[in-house]
């Protein structure tokens, strides 16, 4: 298994500001994934973060709004920029293990934009 | 491309009754299928997974699911519901790669 520590667990932010979410894994992983879970909805993949390269964004998500860093094989950050109430969601970090065919998730960050 | 349909956004059962949560998938390649559970204010926890081995998969907490290719289904069952099973359940599919596609989730309520 993988232990994922995600910070902060929750935050309330003002419109127009930004929030950076940190994801720390207890072992080295190639890929890290960022998901968004809007209220009452399922999880949607925002982007895939590989160490040493630009993140790959899914349709509907752009780097200017969701910049991602991946400085090493155990850590990543997701920033949600220029916040609006529509960004109020749970953001989850996920990793998988090579050959394990299983994704592990952090506890999530509950963001409320006021 | 892959997609998942979960029938019933809310399911309510009595304690001790059978739990059946439905999941149908669409995949252009042989799928890997997963069920995850999410308790309030927590992340997702894997219940079980199908990765092309046995079609009947047993998971944690007494849950199991059967992969039926002819029906493109992967329904989740538990013979006897417990109050602690109340949570949201997500079915997910991947085509053997790393990206998971999730269903819209089913909120399970267990009543006395």
Q: What is the pLDDT of residues A19-71, one digit of tens each?
A: 999 999 999 988 899 999 998 888 999 999 988 888 999 999 999 999 999 99
How many A/B residue pairs have CB atoms within 8 Å? 47
Give me the residues paired with residue A89 across strands: A111
Q: What is the rounded average pLDDT of the residues B85-108?
A: 89
Tokens matching residue A87: 């960004």
> Chain B closest CA to A100's CA: distance in Å?
10
Answer yes or no: are the C-beta atoms of B106 and B53 closer than 8 Å.
no
Q: What is the pLDDT of residues A63-113, one digit of tens each?
A: 999 999 999 999 999 999 999 999 999 999 999 876 666 788 989 999 999
Nearest to A37 by CA among B12, B103, B24, B11: B103
The residue of A42, A98, A106, A108 whose CB has the most chain B CBs within 10 angstroms, and thus the best one to mutate to test that interface, is A42
- Nearest CB to B100: which of A41, A103, A106? A103
User: Would you call B34 an interface residue with chain A, using a CB distance cutoff of 8 Å?
Assistant: yes
Q: Is A105's CB within 8 Å of B44's CB?
A: yes
pLDDT band at B97 (very low <50, low <70, confident <90, very high): low
Distance CA A76, CA A46 (A): 14
Mean pLDDT of chain A: 92
pLDDT band at B66 (very low <50, low <70, confident <90, very high): very high
């Amino acid at each position: 298994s993988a232990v994922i520590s995600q910070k902060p667990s929750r935050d309330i932010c003002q419109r127009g500001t930004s929030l950076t979410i940190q994801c720390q894994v207890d072992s080295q992983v190639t890929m890290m994934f960022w998901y968004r879970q809007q209220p009452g909805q399922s999880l949607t993949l925002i982007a895939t973060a590989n160490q040493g390269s630009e993140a790959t964004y899914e349709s509907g998500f752009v780097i200017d709004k969701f910049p991602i860093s991946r400085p090493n094989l155990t850590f990543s950050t997701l920033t949600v920029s220029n916040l609006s109430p529509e960004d109020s969601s749970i953001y989850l970090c996920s990793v998988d293990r090579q050959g394990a065919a299983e994704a592990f998730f952090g506890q999530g960050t509950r963001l409320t934009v006021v | 491309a892959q997609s998942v349909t979960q029938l019933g956004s809310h399911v309510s059962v009595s304690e001790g009754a059978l739990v059946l949560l439905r999941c149908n998938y669409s995949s252009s390649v042989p799928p890997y299928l997963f069920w995850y559970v999410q308790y309030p204010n927590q992340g997702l926890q894997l219940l079980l997974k199908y990765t092309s081995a046995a079609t009947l998969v047993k998971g944690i907490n007494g849950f199991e699911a059967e992969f039926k290719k002819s029906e493109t289904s992967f329904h989740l069952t538990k013979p006897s519901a417990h109050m602690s099973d109340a949570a949201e359940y997500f079915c997910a599919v991947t085509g053997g790669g790393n990206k998971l596609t999730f269903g819209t989730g089913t909120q399970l309520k267990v009543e006395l």
